[in-house]
């Protein structure tokens, strides 16, 4: 298997770098660099700049308004974006819902929703997890009862990321309570402005409120907003989760944070010695860097397989597990490098407070998108253990 980039791919990387230098706003770049929270307007501005360049739907086929990038081009863009301190793309519309609509949506749904996603005109969020139905998602209880040309939706979703920013939500709902768990679920697209929807924030350990509870009380959803067939939503959900788990690996972000860790650890302490000079700490950095290199090679192998039309199997779960573990390990080392300045009540350097916030926030990485324990079960079943 040949993992080196071709001349065409190297030229593409230079094109991406030039775009990032010229078009990424300095104010947004600074926020990302110091770990400051981004606003809704920041994310949408970046998405619109990408859309103007023709990159709003990077991996979408050109006939759907996308750039037609292959998997390796998307990987190159994400790596260079992270190294340039660009915001991460909010995946719910571009990387999660859009592939489902392209594969299973009606022409009317594709024409209605895809252009607005690419242009940054519509913010989507995900309605999957519920109280008691997270890793065991098939046990979800949010109910949708058909009434004429509408569904009436009642229930609750939780751990909903950026629901307070969203215009629309894609939801898994139970449409046949008599069917076995996976067979009675449908996939609905719901306007967040519909009467009966309420969003309640959940405060996290770092004080942030990026996740929410979403309640549905007699919410009317037109039948035309159902994706695919009734009671086959589990098929579309599994298709979407494959995209989510690969995205969570975050290799570009991990490489950026690793370089930041080295810079922080190289700063001279009061005793004249840098933390990077401590053999034990340096060995921990080396260990996580080796694991990241191994993960990157694995990811490239998966991309090469996709390029040769071989669909990934357990690889998506492997990337999710190792990617999230590495990101968490780096955030822990960054917090340790910040030392006492990382304490929330300490008025230390700005970078230090950001490291504590990142450490706390990234505890979730091994949970969402399917817990790492669940991913290990998936791998065992797929390889026949």
Question: Which of 69, 71, 2 minimizes the C-alpha distance to 303?
Answer: 71
**Contact predicate 101/65, CB 8 Å:** no
* Angle of CA points 208, 125, 112, to nearest 5°: 150
**Contact predicate 183/237, CB 8 Å:** no
Q: 314 φ, ψ to 5°?
A: -70, -10
Q: Give whole-number Cα distances, 305 to 4, 13, 67, 302, 374, in Å.
A: 14, 21, 21, 5, 24
Residues 6+ apart with CB under 8 A from 336: 281
Residues 6+ apart with CB under 8 A from 119: 47, 48, 51, 56
Residue 315: both structure tokens together: 């690889």
Residues 6+ apart with CB under 8 A from 280: none
SS3 (DSSP) at 141: coil
φ/ψ region of 384 (left if φ > 0, alpha if ψ in -120 to 50, else beta) reads left
Q: What is the CB neighbour count within 10 angstroms for residue 107?
A: 7
Query: What span, in angstroms and rounded, lies between the C-alpha atoms of 47 and 156?
Result: 29
Start-end of H helices in the chain: 7-23, 26-34, 40-52, 71-83, 91, 98-104, 107-118, 233-248, 251-265, 279-307, 315-338, 350-361, 372-382
Handedness of CA 300, 304, 309, 311 (dihedral sign): negative
Q: What amino acid positions are annotated as catalytic residues?
A: 244
Query: What span, in angstroms and rounded, lies between the C-alpha atoms of 297 and 278?
Result: 29
**Contact predicate 375/382, CB 8 Å:** no
């Amino acid at each position: 298997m040949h993992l080196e980039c071709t001349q065409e791919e190297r030229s593409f990387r230079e094109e991406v770098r030039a775009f990032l230098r010229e078009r990424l706003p300095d104010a947004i770049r600074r926020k990302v660099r110091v770990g400051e929270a981004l606003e809704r307007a920041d994310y949408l501005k970046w998405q619109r700049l990408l859309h103007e360049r023709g990159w709003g739907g990077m991996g979408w086929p050109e006939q759907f308004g996308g750039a037609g990038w292959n998997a390796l081009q998307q990987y190159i863009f994400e790596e260079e974006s992270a190294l340039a301190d660009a915001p991460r793309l909010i995946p719910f519309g571009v990387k999660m819902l859009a592939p489902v609509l392209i594969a299973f949506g009606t022409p009317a749904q594709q024409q209605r929703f895809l252009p607005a996603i690419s242009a940054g005109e519509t913010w989507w969020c995900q309605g999957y997890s519920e109280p008691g139905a997270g890793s065991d998602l098939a046990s979800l209880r949010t109910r949708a009862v058909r009434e004429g040309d509408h569904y009436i939706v009642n229930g609750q979703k939780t751990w909903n990321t950026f629901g307070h920013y969203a215009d629309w939500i894609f939801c898994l709902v139970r449409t046949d309570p008599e069917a076995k768990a996976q067979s009675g679920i449908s996939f609905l697209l719901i306007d967040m402005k519909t009467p009966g929807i309420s969003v309640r924030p959940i405060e996290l350990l770092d004080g942030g409120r990026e996740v929410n509870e979403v309640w549905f009380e007699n919410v009317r959803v037109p039948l035309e907003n159902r994706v695919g067939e009734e009671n086959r939503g589990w098929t579309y959900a599994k298709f979407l989760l494959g995209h989510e788990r690969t995205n969570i690996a975050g290799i570009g972000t991990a490489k950026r944070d690793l370089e930041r860790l080295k810079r922080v650890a190289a700063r001279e302490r009061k005793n004249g010695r840098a933390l990077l000079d401590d053999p034990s700490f340096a060995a921990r950095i080396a260990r996580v860097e080796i694991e990241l290199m191994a993960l990157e090679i694995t990811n490239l192998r998966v991309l090469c397989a996709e390029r040769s039309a071989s669909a990934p199997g357990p690889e998506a779960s492997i990337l999710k597990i190792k990617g999230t573990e590495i990101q968490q390990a780096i955030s822990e080392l960054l917090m340790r490098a910040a030392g006492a300045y990382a304490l929330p009540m300490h008025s230390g350097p700005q970078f230090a407070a950001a490291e504590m916030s990142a450490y706390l926030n990234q505890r979730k990485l091994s949970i969402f998108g399917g817990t790492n324990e669940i991913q290990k079960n998936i791998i065992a079943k797929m390889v026949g253990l």
